[in-house]
């Protein structure tokens, strides 16, 4: 059985499924050789004219460049540079419409030719065999060569396949109607093409080189057969004319009977396919050092006067090409980039020629009528019969319209080569290829979004992991610090415990504090158990000390306390007497008297304290040596009483200052109201004086009993307090009477103001009575505390019934007398105030 190679050498060809036979319409553009055109006024060179990333700009606006000079350099994945098609100045670098059905703007360089067409320095390699494969590949990349058959795949990527190459296939089929650029290139430059093939032979080391040409191009077949007649590795194969036999996968199947796997590339089965235009560009780059700056373009159609093939500089406006070939536009004129099967209508004729532009078709309306309105599918299956990829175009169209992308992929949408054979045979004029293109774009976008989402997810997860690690590190640092703190606290506790063991009180306290801090660090809550233990120890020591100390039974302590109380009572009585005498005559003198009384009270308190200290120092029976704490208690009581007397004198001074304003004249009713207020203040002061006198009586009486019987003194004090309380109540009732009379005092000019003043006076008098009562109660509490202290000092406690049986009559009579005097004084003051208001 013959091998595939033997069958190929014998000239056997295989067939492909589907396909159509449209009218070629190639003869009109092959009647004259490829011609050159003059330079256009400007060239617009897109930075990206291939599949892959944009190059990096090397020029700026205003730079002068030479022909063939690199304008960009390769940067990124699958990137090749672009070069200056002629010498001139960079006029602009901006976003310009792209040569695409959408005409979306893309970065472009606008070059203004200088007309000289001066080349830059070139570096040809006539003996390329002396160069390494990598050097050749770099030269192909730096020359900016990409696939010129329509895909725009960078040639240097194909020049370094991963697998061993068995067949190198040169695609010269050019099955698209109207296009004859490759045909004319093979006719005129067959020898150059063979030299370019030799460069690829050095790189691939293939077993066989196959040149596929359709059998409707006899001149091209003859020229190439003659050029390689002495080359046994190269074979020219005449392929039957059928569209789309020029497709990469279809041509491999026709020449070798092999199928490219779904989703794979020809290199996966040991094959590489290059277009004849790409081979010619490689020849120029290696043997002449020229970059890719021009290509052969077919300009044809019924509206073109002289259809032909031209060398079009990259960046030449399409309008310029049409005008140079006698373009005569018609109404609703269309211009198509590419052939009628796979080309697209240009949105503008000002778009430039790029590396993949092989034809500019300007048909008339009769030659290529506009497609009719899309109709419903009649399920004729003509599209499925014409599909060269054995797909189901009708089913794919339904899925594309309903955007069922998963089912589109299940039905192998991406195996479609967009040849347009299905749309060509559709009787309903359904633009099937357009549906497929839109669906492919949507699926690609979904894939890109999915990839971006996966990358974002990976970044998010990586970030979370990083944050988690950082948090764990922080927690570990805190744990280590807490452990160090705990260890230090434990060491301090141990040291403090040692100090406690040595009977050092300060060390015991420090140890307790240290243990409390340690427990707080561990649990966050204070632990006072240690301090409680220390307090219990101190209390036990105090009790032991108290039990060991003998009880002092000397009467010197009682004498000292009695002497201090007598001194305080005399001081307070002297102050109240002076104040009472002075206030009746002049309120200003009363203020002075109050200040003097406060000073005397303070002095009396100091004298009492000094006397107490002297008594303790002189009296041999004093408890200074035996019990100094009792003497300190007595001195503290004396100081407290002296301060209280001084504070009681201050309100009197304030009242005196309130009374001080000058008396109002009889002519002004407002002054009469002021006078009424002053009168009410005087009444209030009289009530306070009566209460203070009652307090003095209560303070003096506890000291009256004889020194021989302290219990009688307590009885007398109780009686005095009762009398004082009764006198205070009588004074309060008199004040109420005075307040009842006072409302008539205001002048006759304004009775309403007088009524208001009287109401205010009553409220003030009632408040003064309440304050007097509270002061009486405070005095009683102070006296009870004094008696309690005296009882503690004596260390004796007896029933109250035994005390009440002995009540001295002289002290009781004296108390009643003083209470009557205080009440009389209060009544006189109130009466005088009332008279003053009436006279005013």
> Each residue of 177-195: pLDDT tens digit?
999 999 999 999 999 999 9
387 marked as binding residue: yes
Residue 54 DSSP symbol = P
In the chain, how many H helices and how many E strands? 24, 16
User: Is the distance from CB of 22 to CB of 425 less than 8 angstroms?
Assistant: no
Instruction: For 482, list phi and psi in degrees, rounded to 5.
Output: -65, -35
Q: Give the pLDDT band (50/70/90) at residue 151.
A: confident
120 marked as binding residue: no
Q: What mean pLDDT comes out for the span 604-633?
A: 46
Structure tokens at 459: 């970044």
Question: Which of 19-23, 70-74, 468-472, 597-601 is the least confident region?
Answer: 597-601
For 343-399, give the DSSP string.
-EE-S-TTPBP-TT--EEE---TTTSPPP----------HHHHH-TT---HHHHHHH
**Do you find a cis peptide bond into 244, omega within 30 degrees of 0?**
yes
Question: Which of 82-91, 450-459, 483-492, 739-748 is the least confident region?
Answer: 739-748
Q: For 774-806, give one letter per residue: b (16+ CB within 10 A) or e.
A: ebbeebbebbeebbebbeebeeeeeeeeebeee
Q: What mean pLDDT comes out for the span 630-644?
A: 65
Percent of the chain with pLDDT over 70: 63
Mean of pLDDT over the chain = 77
Q: For residue range 684-720, list pLDDT tens digits in order.
A: 665 566 555 544 434 333 333 333 454 565 565 566 5
Residue 109 DSSP symbol = E
Q: What mean pLDDT comes out for the span 777-790?
A: 45
Structure tokens at 347: 């949105």
Which of 402 and 751 is assigned the larger pLDDT? 402
Q: Is 261 exposed, middle or buried (0-12, 13-18, 19+ CB in 10 A)?
A: exposed
| Location of structure tokens 């205001």 | 746
Q: What pLDDT score does 805 carry?
A: 39
**Biggest alpha carbon distance in the chain?**
166
Q: What mean pLDDT comes out for the span 456-470?
A: 93
Which of 407 and 560 is assigned the larger pLDDT? 407
Which of 494 and 806 is assigned the larger pLDDT? 494
Q: For 351-373, give one letter per residue: b (16+ CB within 10 A) or e.
A: bbbbbbbbbbbbbbeeebeeeee
In the predicted structure, residue 515 carries a pLDDT above the cut 90:
no
Q: How far apart are CA 715 and CA 258, in angstroms?
A: 137
Cα dihedral 639, 643, 648, 654 in deg (nearest 10):
160
Q: How far apart are CA 709 and CA 430, in angstroms?
A: 136
Instruction: For 563, list phi and psi in degrees, rounded to 5.
Output: -60, -40
383 marked as binding residue: yes
Question: Which of 69-73, 181-185, 368-372 is the least confident region?
Answer: 368-372
Q: How far apart are CA 287 and CA 284, in angstroms?
A: 5
Beta bridge partners of 312: 295
377 marked as binding residue: yes
Q: What pLDDT score does 532 carry?
A: 78
- pTM above the 0.85 mark? no
Instruction: For 359, list phi and psi in degrees, rounded to 5.
Output: -160, 145
């Amino acid at each position: 059985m013959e091998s595939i190679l033997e069958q190929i050498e014998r000239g056997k060809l295989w067939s492909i499924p589907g396909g159509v036979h449209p009218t070629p319409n190639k003869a009109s553009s092959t009647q004259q050789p490829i011609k050159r055109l003059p330079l256009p006024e400007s060239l617009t060179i897109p930075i990206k004219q291939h599949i892959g990333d944009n190059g990096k700009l090397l020029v700026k606006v205003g730079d002068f460049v030479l022909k063939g000079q690199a304008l960009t350099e390769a940067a990124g994945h699958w990137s090749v540079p672009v070069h200056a098609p002629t010498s001139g100045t960079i006029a602009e670098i901006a976003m310009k419409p792209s040569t695409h059905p959408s005409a979306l703007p893309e970065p472009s360089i606008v070059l203004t030719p200088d007309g000289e067409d001066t080349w830059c320095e070139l570096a040809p390699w006539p003996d390329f065999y002396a160069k390494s494969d990598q050097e050749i590949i770099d030269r192909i990349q730096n020359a900016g060569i990409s696939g010129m058959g329509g895909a725009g795949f960078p040639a240097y990527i194909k020049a370094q396949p991963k697998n061993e190459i068995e067949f190198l296939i040169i695609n010269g089929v050019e099955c698209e109607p109207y296009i004859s650029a490759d045909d004319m290139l093979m006719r005129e430059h067959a020898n150059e093409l063979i030299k370019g093939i030799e460069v690829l032979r050095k790189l691939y080391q293939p077993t066989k080189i196959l040149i596929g040409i359709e059998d409707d191009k006899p001149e091209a077949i003859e020229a190439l057969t003659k050029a390689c007649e002495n080359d046994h590795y190269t074979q020219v194969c005449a392929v039957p004319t059928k569209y789309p036999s020029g497709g990469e996968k279809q041509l491999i199947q026709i020449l070798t009977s092999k199928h490219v796997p779904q989703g794979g590339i020809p290199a996966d089965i040991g094959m590489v396919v290059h277009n004849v235009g790409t081979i010619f560009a490689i020849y120029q780059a290696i043997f002449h050092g020229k970059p890719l700056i021009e290509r052969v373009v077919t300009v044809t159609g019924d509206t073109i006067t002289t259809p032909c093939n031209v060398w079009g500089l990259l960046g030449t406006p399409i309008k310029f090409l049409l005008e140079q070939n006698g373009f005569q536009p018609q109404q609703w004129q269309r211009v198509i980039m590419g052939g009628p099967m796979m080309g697209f209508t240009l949105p503008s004729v000002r778009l430039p020629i790029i590396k993949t532009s092989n034809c500019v078709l300007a048909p008339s309306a009769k030659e290529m009528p506009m497609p009719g309105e899309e109709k419903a599918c009649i399920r004729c299956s003509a599209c499925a019969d014409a599909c060269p990829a054995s797909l189901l175009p009708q089913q794919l169209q339904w899925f594309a319209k309903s955007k069922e992308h998963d089912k589109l992929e299940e039905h192998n949408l991406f195996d479609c080569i967009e040849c347009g054979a299905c749309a060509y045979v559709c009787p309903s004029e359904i633009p099937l290829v357009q549906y497929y293109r839109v669906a492919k774009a949507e699926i690609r976008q979904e894939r890109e979004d999915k990839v971006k989402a996966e990358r974002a997810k990976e970044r998010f997860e990586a970030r979370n992991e990083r944050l988690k690690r950082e948090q764990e590190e922080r927690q570990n640092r805190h744990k280590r610090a807490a452990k160090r703190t705990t260890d230090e606290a434990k060491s301090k506790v141990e040291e403090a415990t040692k100090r406690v063991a040595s009977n050092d009180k300060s060390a015991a306290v420090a140890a307790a504090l240290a243990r409390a801090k340690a427990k707080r660090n561990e649990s966050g809550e204070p632990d006072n158990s240690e301090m409680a233990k220390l307090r219990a120890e101190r209390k036990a020591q105090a009790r032991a000390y108290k039990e060991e100390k003998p009880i002092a039974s000397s009467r010197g302590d009682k004498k000292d306390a009695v002497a201090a109380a007598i001194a305080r009572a005399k001081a307070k009585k002297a102050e109240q007497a002076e104040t009472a005498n002075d206030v009746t005559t002049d309120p200003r003198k009363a203020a002075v008297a109050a200040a003097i009384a406060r000073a005397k009270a303070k002095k009396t308190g100091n004298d009492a304290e000094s006397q107490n200290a002297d008594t303790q120092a002189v009296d041999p029976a004093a408890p200074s040596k035996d019990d100094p704490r009792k003497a300190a208690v007595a001195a503290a009581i004396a100081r407290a009483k002296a301060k209280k007397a001084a504070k009681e004198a201050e309100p009197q001074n304030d009242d005196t200052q309130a009374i001080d304003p000058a008396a109002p004249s009889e002519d002004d009713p407002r002054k009469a109201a002021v006078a009424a207020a002053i009168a009410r203040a005087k009444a209030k002061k009289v009530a306070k004086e009566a209460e203070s006198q009652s307090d003095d009586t209560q303070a003096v009486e506890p000291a009256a009993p004889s020194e021989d019987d302290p219990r009688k003194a307590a009885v007398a004090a109780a009686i005095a307090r009762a009398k004082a309380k009764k006198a205070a109540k009588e004074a309060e009732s008199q004040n109420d009477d005075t307040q009842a009379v006072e409302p008539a005092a205001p002048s006759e000019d304004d009775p309403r103001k007088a009524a208001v003043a009287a109401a205010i006076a009553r409220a003030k008098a009632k408040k003064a009575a309440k304050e007097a009562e509270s002061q009486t109660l405070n005095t009683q509490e102070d006296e009870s505390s004094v008696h309690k202290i005296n009882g503690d000092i004596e260390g004796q406690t007896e029933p109250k019934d035994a005390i009440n049986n002995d009540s001295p009559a002289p002290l009781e009579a004296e108390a009643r007398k003083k209470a009557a005097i205080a009440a009389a004084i209060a009544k006189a003051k109130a009466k005088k105030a009332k008279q003053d208001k009436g006279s005013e």
